[in-house]
Each structure stands twice: as C-alpha cells, then as structure tokens.
Structure 1
Amino acid sequence: MAVLLAQGTACEHSTATTPPTPAPFRDLEQRTRSTELPNVHSVLVLQHGKPLAEWYVAGVDEERGRPLGTVNFDASTLHDTRSVSKSVVSLLFGIAISEQAVKSLDTPVLDYFPEYTDLRTPDRMKIRVRDMLTMTSGLTWNEDLPYTDPRNSETAMDMAPDRYRYVLEQPIATPAGQTFTYSGGDVAVAAAILARATKTPMDVYAQQKLWAPLGITQHVWLKDGKGVPYAASGLRLTPRDMLKIGQMMLEQGRWNGQQVVPAAWVADSIAPHAQAGSDPKCGTRYGYFWWLSPGCVVTPPAPYYAAQGNGGQRIWVIPSRDLVVVMTAGNYNQWEIQGKVTNAVLSGVLAAVPE
C-alpha cells in the first residue's frame, strides 16, 4: 500500500494535478472554506493506501509562535506540526531500542544525566525512561497557562539555562509511573536520552533513520539557541509527509517493503499506558507519545490513535477503516475551537469514506 503513495498517486503529484475533490467530501471541503470550520489549512484522506481526497485552504499561520501572516498553502508548503513532533520522537526511540542504543525502558532517567549528582535522591531515581514516554514522570508541570506566559512550564524550560536540569529538579507531585500530566518537559528529557544514547543529534538521527527511508526530503526541525531541536513542538513537515507517517504506522512500521520502525514498538506505542482523560469509558488514553481514543467524540464512532498538535495539527489512524487522515490548521491556543473543528473534520471524513 505504501508503494501506491510513493509512486505518483495524488499524494505525490504537484498541486496543479491534484484531482478535484470527490463528491462525498465536497460538503466538508466547503465547510472548511467557510467560517463554520475556521482556519483549516489542509485535509488529506488515504484509505487502503490510496488517496481519496486532498485540499488546501489559505489562512493565517505562524511558526512556533512567530506570525507568518496569510499563507497560500499547497502540497509543498511546510507546516508546523507542533506536538506531532512528540510522536515522531517516539518513533525514533523505537528505532534506537531496536539498535540497542537504548538498552531498557526501565533504566532510571538520571543514569543518562550523571552530571546531576545532587538530584539522585531515592524518589527521583525511581523515574524510569518509560515514565517520560508516557508522561507519567510525576514531576510538577503546568502547560495549562498560555505559552506566552513565562509561568507556563514549557516556556520556562525553554528560557532556562539548562532545560534538562529545569525539568528533573521540579518537585515530585506524584509517584513515578502513576499519573498522566501533559509535559513537554518529559519529551525534552526523552529526546536528550535519545541523543545521548545514540551519540547523534536528534534531527540528524531522524534524517538517517526516518526521513531517508520514507523519502521525506522537505522538513525543518526548529532549534533553540544552543542548536538543540525543540523535541516537543519544533518539527515542520508537509501534510503529504505527515500522511506517510500515518500510513507507515497503519502498516506496523513498514514502508515500501522496509521495516522502518519495529512492529513491536508501533504496537507498544499505541497500547494504553496511561489514562489521559477522566472518563474511564470515553476518555483519551496515552501510549508512548501517541494519543488513543475510543472514538466517542466522532460520528460515526470509530476508535483511532493519533499524533496531534496545538492549532489543529493531526495525523489520525483509524485501523477499522484502513484509513489515515491528516489535517493542518492555524487555531493555535484556541482550545475550544480546535476541539470543535478537529472533531467535525474527522466526523465528516468518516461519513464520506466507504466502510
């Protein structure tokens, strides 16, 4: 199926040859071009490895908080993926484990930071690598404030002279491995572990192990002042390349006959390791930097897993329909609007695709 995507389907053509939107999707497309579903920038749909629909909408955008004004999006335009970056970090982690650069997910995190001798307290030594990947480190963290607020934990981390010390010295709020707390800090520490274990900068490792095998040539990973990629939110990709990631996940880590990410890691990444939502029946769960949903919020209901980012960036994978859906949008920090728009887009796609 990946071969179809790689060898000249609509998802690889120039925008000049992108086919007209098929009739079942036209209503949804029109809604994304109106104020009903505002500031959607792209929607791409792939089922059974074949493209069903793809459209782009001009809109206001930004690059990790830096305004870009109105952008005329097309298939070649890079877009912030924001926290989709986290899910890519997970894929890189799985590759590093398969190469035995990372020996065990049960290794104490501080074993990778021997310079922080003062932090090696009994409670902190209980924080394992897997607790970072599931955002259950137990360290105090608050990203509920606007990212423009210096009290936001991720913003404060980015401003700290040593971001990893900043994360690892936070007060312990709950025992490690027990409670989900959304944390870009956990991601930053996991990415540092990846770089230290592989002895390779994360963006270089991504180029070698992920982008090259997937044929992804157009990408940017934004970096801090020290030249370190922002692991939690710095990746920019085209929507078509986001679609490749989703299709590879759907095919258990394979792309064009090559096992890019170990199948066992893909399965473990999308297994529920933490309860992220309060509703035990319909609440979201969390794998290794991937979101898992029973699908209660969409119509018709359909379980899915997803990489998702601020603004409305999504890679949805719906195994029961053999379906991958990508969306990009510019509704940054508008959480209520994001929820409305993303649920409506996925519901609209599910209503339009064949069973």
Structure 2
Amino acid sequence: MDHGTSLQLSTAEAQGISSAAVQSFIDAVEERRLGVQSLILMRNGRIVAEGWWRPYAEQLSHSMYSVSKSFTATAIGLAVSEGRLSVNDAVLSFFPSYVTPEIKANMEALQVRHLLAMSTGHEKDTFPLLTREPEGDWVRIFLSTPITYEPGTHFLYNTGASFMLSAILQSLTGQTVLEYLGPRLFQPLGIENAAWESNRDGINLGGTGLSIKTLDLAKLGQLFLQRGVWNGKRVVPEEWVEEASSIHTPNGDDPNDDWQQGYGYQMWRCRHNAYRADGAFGQFSVIMPDQNAVLALTSGTSDMHAILDEVWKHILPGMHAEPLPDNAEAANKLTKRLADLALPLPEVLPAAPETAARIEKRTIRLEANELRIEEVSLEFGQEESVFTALDNKGVRHTIRCGRTDWISGTSTLWYRRDSSTEMAVAAHGGWANEHTFVMTWQYVETPFCHVVTFDFGSDEIDVSIKIVPFWQDHDEHIKGHLV
C-alpha cells in the first residue's frame, strides 16, 4: 500500500516496540471478543503494524461517529487562524436573524469555546432533540433549548454543540466543514473520498457522520503528534494543537478511567498523558506524545473502555526509548498474524439438513418488522446460500451468503426505516443445527452487523434480527409462515 513519503513502513523493533507486545494486544482483543476491525500503529512517523479483520479491508471507508468532532474542531481552529472568528465570540453573533428576547436571555453567555469544550451548560445532549425533527431548523432548536448551568462550569457530552460548530463554520464561509477542510486538511494529508452526512439544510452533522479510511484516522493522529506539521509544511497552527489537546473541562477524577481525564476541544484526554479522537463503538485515534506514537483503531464494540485497557496493558509496556535488536522471527510472526486477521465465522453444519429441502425456494411471509420485509425465500448451495426478500415498497433484495467464507455485495436492508442507500455488506450463512439457519450480514463500512436467525423447528417460523453492537440491546423477534 502506498502510504506517501511521510508514512513509511518499519519493523516494530526498529522503532523500539516489541512485535510480541503488538501480537499480545491482538490476542487479547480477540480472546475478549472486543470487536476490533482494523488497526494501524505508528511510531516515530512510521507504520510498524497495520491490519484489517476480514471482511474489513484497507480500501474501505468506515463510519467514524464522534471522531467527526475532532475534524470539526480542527476546521474551527483553521478558521480562527484565518481571522474569521475567535473562540471567545458569542454563538448568537453568527445567527442574528434567530435572536429573540427569549433566545438572547437563554444564550447570550454562550461562546464558541463552550461548544468546543462541551461546557454549554445544557442538562442533556441536545442532538436527540435535533434528530427528532429531521425537517426542522436545527439551529433554531438548539438556540431555543434551555441552558441550565452557567456556560463553562459544567461538563456534558453534547453532540448538538458539535453540530453548532459546523453551522457556525458554514455561516462564515458558505462551505460545509467537508468542503472547507478539503484544500486545508484533506488534500495535504492525502485523505481522499471522505464523506460527511448532512441535515436537511445541507449542514454537515459536525459531531458525527464522517466516513474515512483507517489510514486517514491514523493521519489525523500523526498530524497532531507532529504539532500540526505534515511533510515539513505547517497545516494546522501549533497553538491550536496545544489548545485542542489541553484540558478545558474537568470530567471526573477516577485515575483509571480514560473518560475522566479531562476534555479538550472535541478531544478526550487519556491516561498516560495521551489524548484521543474518539467515536462510538470503538473508533479511536490515540495520540501518545511521550512515546511519539499513534494508534488508530476501528471497532464494533459495546465496551470501548476494555479496548483502551488492553492498549495500556500490552502495547504501552512494549514501547522502549531505543530501538530493539532485530528479531526476524517475531517480526515475521507479527506480519503473518496481521495478514491473517479475520472476524470469527459462526460454526455451521457441513451440509444442509433435511429441513432445507422442505423450505428451499418457498415463500416465507413475515409479520411487520423493522427491516420492512414482507416475504423472503432461501436457496441453499454447497458453498453459498441466497437470501431473497420483498420489502413493503415492492422492491426485491438479494444477499448471497458464503458458507465457509464471506461473500461481498451491497444491500439497502438496514434498521433505519427510511434508508435507501446501498451499503457494502459481506455475508455468511449456514445451518447452526437441524432446524436453525443463521445469516450474518457484516456492514463493512460501519461497525455493525445484522444476525438474522430462522428457526424452522415448528409450524410457525421464528425469525430473530439482532443488531451487533448497538446503543442498547436490539433483538427483534418476528413470526413467519410458509405459503
């Protein structure tokens, strides 16, 4: 893979890292089933380890969730350096047409720095209020939401605040954050094909919605580690790197909790004097200044704390101040381990049971469900199965499922009821026992998969659709019958 002149490859030992330490981290996250989907470890500006758990792959973009916040804050920092605004500017100064006596009384003390530092004074995250009104005016909704605490005095993780940073930048420049960062950040770093979700008014979501590759995630961390310099050229002001990575809002006092080490400008502080861009379900760019290292991870986990615990337990102790002696055996072992990474496939029967002949190609009618499917059918081959579904709009969907490996394709079947976007999916399917057929649809540009289970053990078919991971347990049970 061509990483560009600033991202050269190296053995771990040459950069003072034990290959065995990296491998022990991989072993630990796999043993604990923490759902890590890719990793890139860099030290001294060189990549010492990179790998993707198949069916994830290096060329695929990945949903970044709240890592988006760090990019939005960087855009604000660049706008500050261009003299377009100050972090001490009042938020209302960017939206004069919205100001009413009530909004002024509520919002007049709120400044840009409070948005950046998650200290707006709100009692609850405002983002659910915004998304609940997809056709509404999100700026007006935010400005109308009561502030409970004096801005600057209370930490609350508030994705609505990040959206407002995006709205402010767009009000100043006439460009989305994505457009604004194009020539200023993405092009200098060689970040291509970035995508960012927007609301009805064309404003990038700011606090979420960015999709980039794992390498791009590592590049953000390396840029900050290099204090804003890339390929010998200043990209982000050093003063902004210092500001963004410093504590602006205390958020707890547990020395063993990476979510209680203080909050910067849309960056979390970590243990061990590190800091990070951080997204839901385990998207991380961990910057370790004391070790001159960066670790980028994408994941699909409900236990983000555990992943960072394993970083500090395995990778950090494996870093040494000086290069280590060459260890070709350990380096080759790690290289092979990284090349062979794969998500575990469910165990399935070696051949289809008698049940398959009874239900193959027959229509199965389902009761109402979140996937909007009205009827389905299944075909069973030796090495693959074919799932066909008819949705409530009369659209037919087909997903091919490998028995011993993943089969790649696309699908619009998704838990979002209004989704019509083709999503990359890798699918596996097989018989778990004589009457149970299980499919795993891994949406490889997201953290998620759908586990779809058909139980043909009685006259009435039981269908389970489980989303893994999710913000809360999501396991929908549906009844079906053969027609």
Q: TM-score range by the shorter chain?
A: 0.7 to 0.9
Equivalent AA in structure 2 for residue 284 of structure 1: Q
Match of 2:290 in 1: 320
Match of 1:199 in 2: 174
Higher normalized strand content (fraction of residues):
2
Q: How many angstroms does 1:98 deviate by?
A: 0.7
The answer (yes or no) to whether the contact 1:127–1:137 under 8 Å persists in 2 is yes
Match of 2:107 in 1: 124
Match of 2:244 in 1: 269
Equivalent AA in structure 1 for residue 123 of structure 2: T
Match of 1:67 in 2: none
TM-score (norm 2): 0.60
Alignment of 1:52 with 2:34, yes or no, is no
Change in Cα spacing, 1:123 to 1:278, as seen in structure 2 (3 Å) is farther
Match of 1:9 in 2: 8
Q: How many angstroms does 1:28 deviate by?
A: 1.9
Q: Helix, strand or coil for the counterpart of 1:285?
A: coil
Q: Helix, strand or coil for the counterpart of 1:137?
A: coil
Aligned Cα root-mean-square deviation (Å): 2.2
Match of 1:345 in 2: 311
Number of matched pairs: 308
Match of 1:41 in 2: 37
Deviation digits for residues 99-131 of structure 1 (CA, Å, limit 9, x no counterpart): 1111x2211111111121214434521111111
Q: Helix, strand or coil for the counterpart of 2:108?
A: helix
Deviation digits for residues 156-194 of structure 1 (CA, Å, limit 9, x no counterpart): 312320111111211111011111111011111111111
The answer (yes or no) to whether the contact 1:272–1:287 under 8 Å persists in 2 is yes
**Larger Cα-atom Rg:** 2
Match of 1:244 in 2: 219
Structure 1 segment 1-355 matched on structure 2, within 5 A: 6=5, 9-10=8-9, 22-32=19-29, 34-58=30-54, 72-102=55-85, 104-118=86-100, 119-142=102-125, 153-160=126-133, 161-279=136-254, 283-293=260-270, 295=271, 302-331=272-301, 334=302, 337-355=303-321
* Identical-pair percentage: 27
Q: Name structure 2 gaps, 5 residues minimum.
A: 11-17, 322-483
TM-score (norm 1): 0.81
Higher normalized helix content (fraction of residues):
1
Equivalent AA in structure 1 for residue 119 of structure 2: T
Change in Cα spacing, 1:313 to 1:56, as seen in structure 2 (3 Å) is same
Match of 1:61 in 2: none
Q: Name structure 1 gaps, 5 residues minimum.
A: 12-20, 59-71, 143-152, 296-301
The answer (yes or no) to whether the contact 1:139–1:168 under 8 Å persists in 2 is no
Change in Cα spacing, 1:165 to 1:197, as seen in structure 2 (3 Å) is same
